[in-house]
Amino acid sequence: MQSHSWYRRFIHPVFSVAWRDIRITTRYKSWFVASFIWPIIFPFSLIFLGQGLAGPDGEGVESFTALAGTSDYSSFLIVGSLVWMFVNINLWMGGLSLMTDRTRGTFDTHWTMPVSKLALVVGATLASLALNFVPMVVAIGFYAAIGWLEMTGSIVQVILAILTVVPFLLGFLLCFAALTVRFREAGILVQVLRTVFSILCGLQFPLAVLPPVLQSIGAAIPLTHFIDLVRTIVIHGGAVFDHAASVAYLLGSGIALSALGAIAFELVRRSVRSSGLVTGY
Amino acid sequence: MRSIDDDGRYRSSAAAMFGALRAVFVKNALEFIRYPVNLAFSLVLPVIWFLPIYFLIVSFAPAGQSIGLDAWVGTSSFFEYLPIGLIVGYVIMTVFWNLGFALKRLMDIGMLETIWACPVPRMVYIIGESLFSMARLTVEVVIVLLVYRYLYGFTLPATIVANLFLFVPFLLIMYGLGIGFASLVLLLKDANTLVDTSSFLVSGLTGTQNPPQVFPRFLLAISVGIPITHVIDLLRSRTLGIEPLIDPSMQMAIVAASALLFPVAGVIIFMAVERRSRRLGNLHVH
């Protein structure tokens, strides 16, 4: 009886919310552009900036090679751009899902349903991950096919590597959703966070270019381990579990953050209910 | 265009038009200063957003001197080369988001039909929408360039002053593009992706962050076909003394012709689409 109730209050709503978000998103034709064209065109600006700095025959790539540990700046930047985009879209779709509900005017209705409120965020995150996973793989395939991405590792290992970051993303988005329930407007926070991640995790440049203090902070963020893992597999090959320490750190911190996120979300839920902050903008 | 003033007298068309432009300008200014956080972030975000690009540049060119750039265009000073493209990129982004997106914003806040019913020519309204953003852009660009200079070490060559006249045809081209683009919003409704993608593509393909010479042949052909590429190239070649993409007199002719053609084409397209929307009665549909 207990498990049935758990299914009805959490699992079923998670999939319902995910399916709802997938249907709403794919209803607009612009979704195709956003999901399949953007991952392909987005890395262009960084690749061409890199080419402008590297020169026609790689004359200016020496400093970059010393910092990044590879002269293949194109693969380095493509992987970084795609990961940045993956995180960014998940922040907008998953982290801001409750704020989007407010804008649509459906937040109050959903909030009063007899289901776990956590399911609203987990479902939106699931939809976001599902909608963005395939385009990322398509983009990697595209760049590998045109020869701009030197794909040494296998795509299966890349997919496995992407799965290791899911607990961290889920935990982070739960914390983030808790903030949006409490403070309502969080669009600016997304803008700031995505740039902070980009800088401290070295998504679009080699982390070694940062001052040592910032490098140390970056090394503590699971996303830094994730981008290193994906870059290593793509550029140098090998398997995910060759990097056991990084995988353990990603999964461990991800599970801990997910638990923390769920607790934070529940505390905020109680707080906004008792202080009457559920409705209104 | 005629309107009635507070005393019941008809005002001349020019006075009425300027009155409408002023009203839209004031409305947008009031909206902007009402949200102080937005005001602060409009200055802080461009500085923060640029940090990843800055770190990528210094990872290739530690002191802003790039051997690679020298091999492409004949100057190694990336810290002088980039700001010109950045300014053009800012204008492109502003025009797309504020001129093209203005109608979408009105749709979202439920004001489009009300504004459309006002006795003001739609074109005057559209241009009015862009005036405040252009004034804001000018102030922001000056502040951001000063911050970039003292924080990152980027400098604009002094010779840019003598070449500021190139911004006149550039703005005319951008206004034409933006007005035409606003009509697309009436047609396609969901303008967010449209604006984002178009602004990104135009900025990217015109070489705002890199020399167009780095593009593969097919992209270079598209790039050379966009007049904004020639505006940036003229500014760069005239201020930094680098090799232009094609003959500068030919570039001048392309820019001048486009400055005449784009606004006219933009207005014609907008008026045709707007008439169609009124005939079909789909202004209110999201």
Q: How far is B67 from chain A (nearest CA, A)?
A: 5
Q: How far is B54 from chain A (nearest CA, A)?
A: 9
A46 contacts B60? CB cut-off 8 A: no
A&B contacts, CB < 8 Å: 125
How much of chain B, in percent, has pLDDT values that exceed 90? 41
Question: Which residues in chain B are contacts of A77 at CB distance < 8 A?
Answer: 56
Q: How far is B276 from chain A (nearest CA, A)?
A: 22
Look at residue B122 in the predicted model and tell me its pLDDT: 80
Question: Which residues in chain A are contacts of B80 at CB distance < 8 A?
Answer: none
CB distance B66 to B76 below 8 Å: yes
A198 contacts B60? CB cut-off 8 A: no
For chain A, the straight-line distance linking the first and the last C-alpha, in angstroms and rounded, comes to: 39
B49 contacts A48? CB cut-off 8 A: no
pLDDT above 90 for B110: no
Look at residue B1 in the predicted model and tell me its pLDDT: 52
Q: How far is A9 from chain B (nearest CA, A)?
A: 34
Q: How large is the angle between the packed helices A166-183 and A155-164, nearest 10 degrees? A: 40
Q: Residues 6 or more apart from B144 whose CB is under 8 A from it? A: B43, B46, B47, B90
pLDDT in tens, B198-256: 888 999 999 999 999 999 999 999 999 999 999 999 999 999 989 899 999 999 999 99
Average pLDDT of chain A? Answer: 87
B210 contacts A52? CB cut-off 8 A: yes
- Judge whether B41 is closer than 8 Å to chain A, CB to CB: yes
User: Residue ranges per domain, chain A?
Assistant: 2-274
d(CA B110, CA B100): 17
Look at residue B136 in the predicted model and tell me its pLDDT: 86
pLDDT above 80 for B257: yes
Candidates A53, A71, A189, partner chain B, best to mutate (most B CBs within 10 A): A53
Tell me the mean pLDDT in the region A112-129. 88
At A204, list the tokens: 């679009």
- Locus of tokens 């007199």: B249
- Judge whether B109 is closer than 8 Å to chain A, CB to CB: no
- Judge whether A69 is closer than 8 Å to chain B, CB to CB: no
pLDDT above 90 for A68: yes
- Judge whether B56 is closer than 8 Å to chain A, CB to CB: yes
The residue of chain A nearest to residue B58, with distances taken between CA atoms, is A209
| Single-letter amino acid code for the residue at B61 | A
Count of CB atoms within 10 A of residue A239's CB?
13
Query: Could you tell me the pLDDT band of residue B190, with boundaries at 50, 70 and 90?
Result: low
Tell me the mean pLDDT in the region A172-195. 78
- Judge whether A271 is closer than 8 Å to chain B, CB to CB: no
Question: Which residues in chain B are contacts of A215 at CB distance < 8 A?
Answer: none
Helix (H) or strand (E) holding B4: strand B3-4
B56 contacts A205? CB cut-off 8 A: yes
pLDDT above 70 for A184: no
Name which of B87, B92, B95 is nearest B129 in CA terms: B95
d(CA A49, CA A43): 10
Positions of E strands within B186-269:
none
Look at residue B286 in the predicted model and tell me its pLDDT: 55
In this predicted structure, which of A174-183, A202-211, B34-43 has the lowest mean pLDDT?
B34-43
pLDDT in tens, B159-184: 999 999 999 999 999 989 988 888 88
The residue of chain B nearest to residue A71, with distances taken between CA atoms, is B60
* Cα angle B79-B83-B84, degrees, rounded to a multiple of 5: 125
d(CA A106, CA B151): 45
CB distance A69 to A107 below 8 Å: no
CB distance A181 to A273 below 8 Å: no
Tell me the mean pLDDT in the region A33-49. 86
pLDDT above 90 for A181: no
**B-contacting residues in A 80-139 (Cβ below 8 Å):** none
B61 contacts A63? CB cut-off 8 A: yes
B49 contacts A63? CB cut-off 8 A: no
pLDDT in tens, B31-65: 888 877 777 777 787 888 888 999 999 999 988 89
DSSP, collapsed to helix, strand or coil, labels residue B3 as strand
The residue of chain A nearest to residue B204, with distances taken between CA atoms, is A45
DSSP A207-267: GGGS-HHHHHHHHHSHHHHHHHHHHIIIII---GGGGHHHHHHHHHHHHHHHHHHHHHHHH
Q: Residues 6 or more apart from A27 whose CB is under 8 A from it? A: none
Query: Could you tell me the pLDDT band of residue A3, with boundaries at 50, 70 and 90?
Result: low
Name which of B234, B215, B248, B132 is nearest B173 in CA terms: B234
Cα atoms in the 13 Å half-sphere on the side-chain side of B153? 12
pLDDT above 90 for A255: yes
Name which of A44, A25, A45 is nearest A35 in CA terms: A25
pLDDT above 50 for A1: no
Q: What is the CA radius of gyration of chain A?
A: 20
d(CA B217, CA B269): 31
Q: What is the CA radius of gyration of chain B?
A: 21
DSSP, collapsed to helix, strand or coil, labels residue B281 as coil
Look at residue B11 in the predicted model and tell me its pLDDT: 57
CB distance A126 to A18 below 8 Å: yes
DSSP state of A105: T
Helix (H) or strand (E) holding A87: helix A73-90
| Single-letter amino acid code for the residue at B25 | F
d(CA A197, CA A89): 13
Look at residue A185 in the predicted model and tell me its pLDDT: 64
